[in-house]
Structure 1
């Protein structure tokens, strides 16, 4: 795992790619850092970030194995990413009568009451959204943006 010397942002990742001449690699981000990058992208471009996200030809993705510490990046060969996702893949379908929810303001993954989801539950919902092209995702007022809707 690498510490890139500053806050994880799109610019700091771009600088790291250029400074280290990365090719045929993938960058794994801690779940919290990945969320920050997604929000930064949405705030700057005023649209949701496409997944998978490529920056200068390098795949930027969330570390579903939970091995990358906060404010660090994991650098792996892009071929190893396929193995990593395959080795740790679980059943990411929704349970009977379960629905996926996102905050209507920031797009964060939340439950039906607006509470932020973490860990395995959050990963399962994200995988569901990514896996199914026509996944149904409901919007709700997330407590992550409580000041927006109060």
Structure 2
């Protein structure tokens, strides 16, 4: 993804037919950009947990996810 935006993440979820059995992990900078875009679009209201189309969006604290990349995590054990 060139830049992580609300529209780009929505399209990614739809195009990849993701379900609530996964979560998306983002680089901290990409996560911050997405949250700001979400807040601008939704009038400064952020739900907890942070979800887009039912998919939880997480911030990667491990350093494993590069900026502007999406990591898909299985949430079903």
- With normalisation by structure 2, the TM-score equals 0.86
- If you compute each CA radius of gyration, which structure gives the higher value, 1 or 2? 1
CA distance in 2, matches of 1:41, 1:65: 23
Name which of 32, 37, 58 aligns with 1:35.
32
Aligned-CA RMSD value: 1.5
Relative contact order, CA 8 A, sep 6+: which one is greater? 2
Check whether the contact 1:38–1:48 (CA below 8 A) recurs between aligned residues: no
1:20 partnered with 2:16: yes
What TM-score, normalized to structure 1? Answer: 0.47
Task: Provide runs of 4+ in structure 1 moved above 3 Å.
Answer: none
Q: Which runs of 5+ in 1 are unaligned?
A: 81-150
Gaps of 5+ in 2: none
Give the number of the structure whose residues are more often helix, by fraction.
Answer: 1
Paired residues, number: 76
